[in-house]
A and B are shown apart, each in its own frame.
Chain A
């Protein structure tokens, strides 16, 4: 019994003395350094290189300063890139807002149904996420085709609403930005619903009832109580939709308009078709700093604030 510590050692500290801790940390850490961090250093370095006709098609300057910032200058000068950035941000923002408008009532409703139903419905929200992404995009291509039942139904509905001279034979849906937004909303909706649900579920229903008992109207309760309290969920869901949507490659390639390329497509084309690796790298670096870094910083500070809140009595 003499060896037994009088005070409880924290789990981490105790593991430290045994060597297990180092193994558990170092293995995944090393893996991520080699296969995730190192590739980014290479891309960052590549963005300062020069394109040459060789395999691989890049080289660094021979003399000092070895690096060349011209790729970044071209990014600002060439409006192809600026336009692609703006289109991407516009499409991603539209997608995020629509996901929020569709997803918020869904999440709110999920918190109001009985527990048995709730588990089933939550599973139904998650299930499409488990099925193939590519095939879900493909399913929409089928629906949007000019001879599909869905397109015909939409065309009939449209023709019934407008005067006869404006009637259409079919609505052109594929190869438009509309199709990109539609399929993106479809693909990313679960990413909006789940964080919103997690946030709304924690709200105390007694608050709503108290406000109603005190004479608030339902929409006032929503505006003054539910909505402000759900802002963390809205931000979390919004980022989960906006960031991947802005860099999306598959959806715009399959259903988008080739004359309005999104930035993911531009990176891929610069790399694979133009074989301008340094330029593709420079765009990737800028995209990362504009979109992904703020998100990581946000979640980092959020986690810290959360930890601080928990430490307080």
Chain B
């Protein structure tokens, strides 16, 4: 085999072009003067100005951010617990059902999750009078449910890689359970918790299908608003909105992964230092 895999590099370049050309094109055309979304008519930042003046868009964005923040926080707590349970407690009653329920939402067609959630809310409203109306609460409950399973998966895989004997050694040396949890387990999985929160936040911010089923009158999230606009056609102000979202998310994700890499490198260095000093 040639040591320079020309063919493979070409494939990689083609793959990345495929992934990024649409996004770059969208960003370029957000600065387009023309009303036609994909015909160049000169440079302009007009659409950004119009977007910021659009109250509907701003309200929807605020609602989306609020839901994403609340649901990501709850999902991180619940998902971390689920991840610890799956990685550290090998035997408990109903473990198969539990791990099935954690895996299922990851691959389930969203339309099924959405419809079943909506039916439950309607049947519950019928039987026990709650939830009396659908909106912020029902959307947030649905988002917590499916994003906690993403958090659980990330935390579980992180914890399965970590050495359980450190936790057991701390136990043997007389630490209390909550001390082990707070001083050893949580710091070990803290990068996974950060990733999980970010993942839950972006998934919630992005969700259309499940939100469209669990929402009610008056609760329009940003993706629902975009969905209804896109169905009517491509317009330049959506290009501008998309650019803002892509750039913000890109910066946050890159910053988070860089700082996590640094954190990991420091931990590794500390661990090696500790080994050297003791050996």
Contact = CB atoms under 8 A, between A and B. Distances in A.
A3 to B, nearest CB: 8
A243 B2 CA distance: 37
Interface stretch (B50-58, B77-85, B128-136): B77-85
B101 A32 contact: yes
Given A35-B117, A132-B206, A5 B172 contact: yes
Given A131-B23, A250-B208, A105 B12 contact: yes
B137 to A, nearest CB: 12
Contacts of A250: 208-209, 227
B111 A12 contact: no
A79 B123 CA distance: 31
A42 B125 CA distance: 13
A118 B78 CA distance: 33
A141 B235 CA distance: 11
A212 B1 CA distance: 7
B261 A119 contact: yes
16 contacts: A4-B174, A28-B85, A29-B82, A31-B144, A31-B148, A35-B141, A102-B11, A119-B261, A126-B253, A138-B234, A145-B38, A149-B38, A189-B15, A243-B109, A287-B109, A288-B108
Q: Which 5 A-B pairs have the closest CB atoms?
A: A247-B109, A105-B11, A39-B116, A139-B22, A109-B8
B223 A134 contact: yes
Interface in B1-48: 1-2, 5, 7-9, 11-12, 14-16, 18-23, 25-26, 29, 36-40
A32 B81 contact: no
Contact of B181 (A20, A40, A239): A20
A288 B227 CA distance: 26
B245 interface: yes
Interface in A160-212: 186, 189-190, 193, 208, 212
A158 interface: no
A114 interface: no
B226 A39 contact: no
Interface in A239-277: 239-240, 243-244, 246-250, 253-254, 264, 267-268, 271, 277
B11 A135 contact: no
Contacts of A29: 82, 85, 94, 98
Contacts of B91: 12
Given A38-B120, A134-B227, A300-B96, A292 B168 contact: no
A296 B100 contact: yes
Interface string B155-187: 000000000100110011010111001000000
Nearest to B230: A138
A47 to B, nearest CB: 11
A133 interface: yes
Contact of A248 (B37, B97, B109, B122): B109
A87 interface: no
Contact of A300 (B78, B89, B100, B167): B100
A56 B126 contact: yes
Interface of B: 1-2, 5, 7-9, 11-12, 14-16, 18-23, 25-26, 29, 36-40, 78-79, 81-82, 84-85, 88-92, 94, 96-105, 107-113, 115-117, 119-120, 122-123, 126, 141-142, 144-145, 148-149, 152, 164, 167-168, 171-172, 174, 176-178, 181, 202, 205-206, 208-209, 223, 226-227, 230-231, 234, 238-239, 241-242, 245-246, 249-250, 253-254, 257, 261
A135 B119 contact: no
Nearest to A46: B119
B11 A106 contact: yes
A87 B110 CA distance: 18
B202 A130 contact: yes
Nearest to B116: A39
Contact of B119 (A150, A218, A281): A281
A134 B226 contact: yes
Interface residues of chain A: helix, strand, loop or mixed (majority): helix
A142 B29 contact: yes
A308 to B, nearest CB: 13
Interface in A269-313: 271, 277, 280-281, 284, 287-288, 291-292, 295-296, 299-300, 303
B25 A131 contact: no
A36 interface: yes
A93 interface: no
A34 to B, nearest CB: 9
A24 B172 contact: no
Contacts of B261: 119
A121 interface: yes
A15 interface: yes
Contacts of B82: 28-29, 32
Contacts of A147: 36, 38-39
Interface string A40-54: 101100100000000
Nearest to A40: B116
Contacts of B152: 28
A284 to B, nearest CB: 5
A109 B11 contact: yes
A14 interface: yes
A131 B249 contact: yes
Contacts of A246: 109
B171 A14 contact: yes
A127 to B, nearest CB: 6
